[in-house]
Amino acid sequence: MNDTILLAHGSGGKLSHDLVERKFLPLLANPLLDKLDDSAIFEANGRLAFTTDSYVVNPIFFPGGDIGRLAVCGTVNDLSMNGAKPLYLSLSVIIEEGLLMADLEHIVRSIKAAADEAQVNIITGDTKIVNRGQADKLFITTSGIGIIPAGIDISGANAKAGDRVILSGTIGDHGIAIMSQREGLRFETLLESDCAPLNKLVAQIVEACPNTHCLRDPTRGGLATTLNEFAKQSNVGIAVEEDKIPVKKEVKAACELLGLDPIYVANEGKLVAIVEPGDANKVLTQMKQNCYGRDAAIIGEVTNEHTGRVIMKTRLGPSRIIDMLSGELLPRIC
Amino acid sequence: MKFIDEYQNSELAKKLAQRIAGHSVRSIRLMEFCGGHTHAIMRYGIRQLLPETIEMKSGPGCPVCVTAIGDLDKAIALAHSPKVIITTFGDMMRVPGSYSSLQQAKAEGANIRVVYSTMDALEMAKASPNKSVIFIGIGFETTAPTIAASIVKAEKERIGNFYVLSFLKLTPPVMKALLGLGEIKLDGIIGPGHVCVITGSHPYGFIPEKYGVAYVISGFEPLDILLSVDKLVQQIETGSPKVEIAYRRGVKPEGNRKALELMQQVFEIDGADWRGIGIVPQSGLKINKEYQHFDANNAFSGLLRSARNDKPAKEPKGCRCGDVVRGAATPLECKLFGKACTPEKPIGPCMVSSEGACAAYYQYGASYE
């Protein structure tokens, strides 16, 4: 019989303790977590950034990652996008009874690997078990605290006319990798999710250019949505060129087949940086030195025209508005 | 997959656009029948490449948009039946019916699942023997063969709890109806490439022969569309309208014989109710006698009849989707467009569907042109 999660693992009694002590603590151990008090206590000086996010991805394992890696990277990236250096994460897991113990172990190992890569510690956590059908295998919530170095002011509202827009790499990898695994839509692809912690890339950017105006990771809603957020928050126009946006050929092919536009497809390891024109090449060079910024490119600029709107020069030459994603991405019918 | 960049080459596009401008003298009006073409035209900014002599109109080629509101009401009524699982393509979920939508019915507890293919619905029927699994069969000649295949498979495997509510429609009869209506004068039609992969080019011969309208079947890449416009302009300028295929890599004149045979095996031709157009004779596909035990219209006839009597269908006030699918109005001419009706809160189907003209105009910012 397969070893699975039972409702009793959430009883608060011995089985609950066993679960935490055997499956979580040995891997995630660090001095703050190991105290096992009701809350973790630590000191921090300076401006703090605080964020939270929940992860309900289906399927929980996908090419290039799983829900555990995603839950760490997502929160690390949210902190990083304000220039914060991530310090600590919390980890809250809701498990559906019947989840294979081996699957849980696999996910905790990826949480550990991602946290190590990002050099953050998980210092507090919780597990709950729910009846079959009340969750879909496993839901994870992570919160994170980071510290913002002095002199850094990064916000979506800081873009100025003339600024350059830099994208850290190819778009759509995560969304297409997930879609390729979805029930009913399975297709063969060698494509992997780009799920990655971007804090080191951000540290390099900020070191090269402390005056970085905006940073954001284009997750759900894709590049188009992030650019629109910048345009609205900063009350500027943004003009990009379709030909300059890096897209892997597998992603392009899948998008053509499904009738999707890669600028709306989700990413989990990419960022958009907006910097002054004089800083653009410096930042680009730095980004290219990081493994998560190898394919970085300047894709456009910020303008005084068409404020609040994003315009894209299409591959054929004419320009069109690109709006935020509305509704869900759905494959075409005919 | 190869041949994507090749069909999006900007140099070739410019050359084609120049050639079109060079020999387009008369002011003409073309209709792109298919919503997929409307989207490609807006997405790549193709209108901006065309000379002022060419006016483009969007046509009825969006399966969700032409589904009659009464038919949608039927699907919603069935969804509320406790022993039923409704399976549908995702676009249908958000289209408002007369009183509700599938999305709203789902939130109220109805068992509705989005599937990507009819075969998934069939699998669901196998996995849920105590439920009746009904697939909402929308689409044109593109989706009809796969729906037919699922019915044949269900028969072969003796699956007794799988049903199809067919709203399938045929493209040649509706083109005939539009041209016969004479509401808008057309000089040429960009033919639906994916549909013609199945049907071939033969069924469209009446368009040039009877109506003197040029007809070129097009693929969906920007160069495909420009090439088709170029051929249409040539036909029109030389006064020699005919059926041409500008999508040779997909379409054969005789179509896909196997797919056509499957359709013939399972369906019979019947009238169909098109939103904005009304009942068009011979334009729909109904499940035939031999397979009628899979027809949701038969199996749930009592339920459907009482639902219709309780709540007659009514169109949303002010919505001009009906005019838009006939090419009689552009989305911009609808007072609701972009104000009361947006992709987030759609009133009519043309704003919901990823193939709808209003959604294309909205998403790609026609107002910016």
Same domain, B84 and B222: no
Same domain, A23 and A131: yes
Nearest to A261 among B14, B43, B90 (CB): B43
Same domain, A140 and A219: no
Which pLDDT score is estimated for A99? 96
Same domain, A248 and A278: yes
- Nearest residue of chain B to residue A329 (CA atoms): B354
Taking a C-beta distance cutoff of 8 angstroms, is the pair A186, A240 a contact? no
Q: Cβ of B180: how many Cβ atoms within 10 Å? A: 11
Higher pLDDT, B7 or A266: A266
CATH of the domain at A80: 3.30.1330.10
Give CA separation, B10 vs A94, A232, A313, B3, B46, in Å: 51, 31, 11, 14, 11
CB contact under 8 A, A333 and B343: no
- How many folded domains does chain B comprise? 3
Considering only CB atoms, which chain B residues are within 8 Å of A326?
342-344, 363
Cis-peptide into B145, omega within 30 deg: no
Taking a C-beta distance cutoff of 8 angstroms, is the pair B342, A324 a contact? no
Check whether A212 has a pLDDT greater than 60. Answer: yes
Q: For residues A263 and A299, what is the distance between their CA atoms, to the nearest angstrom? A: 12
Considering only CB atoms, which chain B residues are within 8 Å of A257?
1
CB contact under 8 A, A333 and B94: no
Alpha-carbon torsion B237, B192, B326, A325, what sign?
negative
Same domain, A47 and A20: yes
CB contact under 8 A, B49 and A316: yes
Name residue A223's amino acid: L
Give CA separation, A148 vs A217, A224, B127, B239, in Å: 17, 27, 53, 71
Which pLDDT score is estimated for B369? 44
Q: For residues B301 and A230, what is the distance between their CA atoms, to the nearest angstrom? A: 53
Q: Tens of pLDDT along A97-114?
A: 999 999 999 999 999 999
Q: For residues A97 and A5, what is the distance between their CA atoms, to the nearest angstrom? A: 5
**A1-10, A150-159, A178-187, A295-304: which range is least confident on average?**
A178-187
Check whether B1 has a pLDDT greater than 50. Answer: no
CB contact under 8 A, A333 and B194: no
Check whether B366 has a pLDDT greater than 60. Answer: no
Considering only CB atoms, which chain A residues are within 8 Å of B139?
333-334
**pLDDT tier, A10 (very low <50, low <70, confident <90, very high otherwise):** confident
Nearest to A326 among B42, B192, B344 (CB): B344
Which pLDDT score is estimated for B324? 94
**A269-283, B289-303, B311-325: which range is least confident on average?**
B311-325
Looking at CA atoms only, how far is residue B302 from chain A in angstroms? 30
Nearest to B355 among A257, A316, A332 (CB): A332
Q: Tens of pLDDT along B337-347?
A: 999 999 888 99
Examine residue A159 and state whether it is found in any structural domain, yes or no: no
Same domain, A183 and A310: yes
- How many folded domains does chain A comprise? 2
Looking at CA atoms only, how far is residue B349 from chain A in angstroms? 14
Nearest to A323 among B48, B222, B365 (CB): B365
Check whether A187 has a pLDDT greater than 80. Answer: no
Q: Tens of pLDDT along B150-183?
A: 999 999 999 999 999 999 999 999 999 999 999 9
CB contact under 8 A, B8 and A333: no
Check whether A211 has a pLDDT greater than 90. Answer: yes
Q: Which helix (H) or strand (E) holds B360?
A: helix B357-363
**B84-88, B134-138, B278-282, B314-318: which range is least confident on average?**
B314-318
**pLDDT tier, B310 (very low <50, low <70, confident <90, very high otherwise):** confident
Examine residue A291 and state whether it is found in any structural domain, yes or no: yes
Largest CA distance in chain B: 65
Q: For residues A326 and A32, what is the distance between their CA atoms, to the nearest angstrom? A: 43
Looking at CA atoms only, how far is residue B120 from chain A in angstroms? 6
CB contact under 8 A, B36 and A315: no
Same domain, A179 and A310: yes
Q: For residues A308 and A235, what is the distance between their CA atoms, to the nearest angstrom? A: 5
| Domain end residue (candidates: A119, A148, A177) | A148
Give CA separation, A5 vs A101, A130, A138, B112, B368, in Å: 6, 10, 11, 29, 56
Same domain, B219 and B201: yes
Same domain, B215 and B292: no
Same domain, B287 and B341: no
Tokens of A40: 């973790």
Looking at CA atoms only, how far is residue A176 from chain B in angstroms? 15
Q: Cβ of B273: how many Cβ atoms within 10 Å? A: 19
| Domain end residue (candidates: B245, B268, B286) | B245
Considering only CB atoms, which chain A residues are within 8 Å of B37?
none
Considering only CB atoms, which chain B residues are within 8 Å of A333?
63-64, 89, 91, 138-139, 142-143, 355
What value does the mean pLDDT take over residues A250-254? 90
User: Domain span at residue A258?
Assistant: 164-322
User: Domain span at residue B327?
Assistant: 321-364
| Domain end residue (candidates: A98, A116, A148) | A148
For residues A157-188, one letter each, b for 16 or more C-beta atoms within 10 angstroms of the residue's C-beta and e for the rest, the string is ebbeeebbbbbbbbbbbbbbbbbbbeeeeeee
Query: A181 by DSSP, 3-state: which?
Result: coil
| Domain end residue (candidates: A120, A148, A176) | A148
Same domain, A170 and A119: no
Examine residue B369 and state whether it is found in any structural domain, yes or no: no
Same domain, A126 and A212: no
Tokens of A36: 């096992």
Q: For residues A114 and A271, what is the distance between their CA atoms, to the nearest angstrom? A: 18
CB contact under 8 A, A333 and B49: no
CB contact under 8 A, B42 and A318: no
Q: For residues A81 and A79, what is the distance between their CA atoms, to the nearest angstrom? A: 6
Higher pLDDT, B6 or B265: B265
